[in-house]
Amino acid sequence: MLERTVLIGSTNGLHARPAKLFSQAAAVAGIPVTLTKTGGKTVNAASILGVISLGIGHGDEVTLAADGDAAETILDELAGLLLIDHDA
């Protein structure tokens, strides 16, 4: 299982629009990916409702996890999406 820990870059956190972009990218990844807010629960990263339910704000630390042949590349791409300020 590979993991990436990142800080959320969007000024307003993972609200509807950035959560949608992130969960859609996770859904097409081809492998199961999980998202965990530090100190919180773990959800399926492809579930927009799961992602929004974590209440992730700007600067919060989250961990992505996946397993499989392409996991490293997929986690890098998804981590990049979380680092971008989609509210700028």
Q: How far apart are CA 19 and CA 73, in angstroms?
A: 20
21 Cβ contact list (under 8 Å, min separation 6) = 81, 86
Catalytic entry in 15, 40, 63, 84: 15
86 is catalytic: no
Show which residues are catalytic: 15
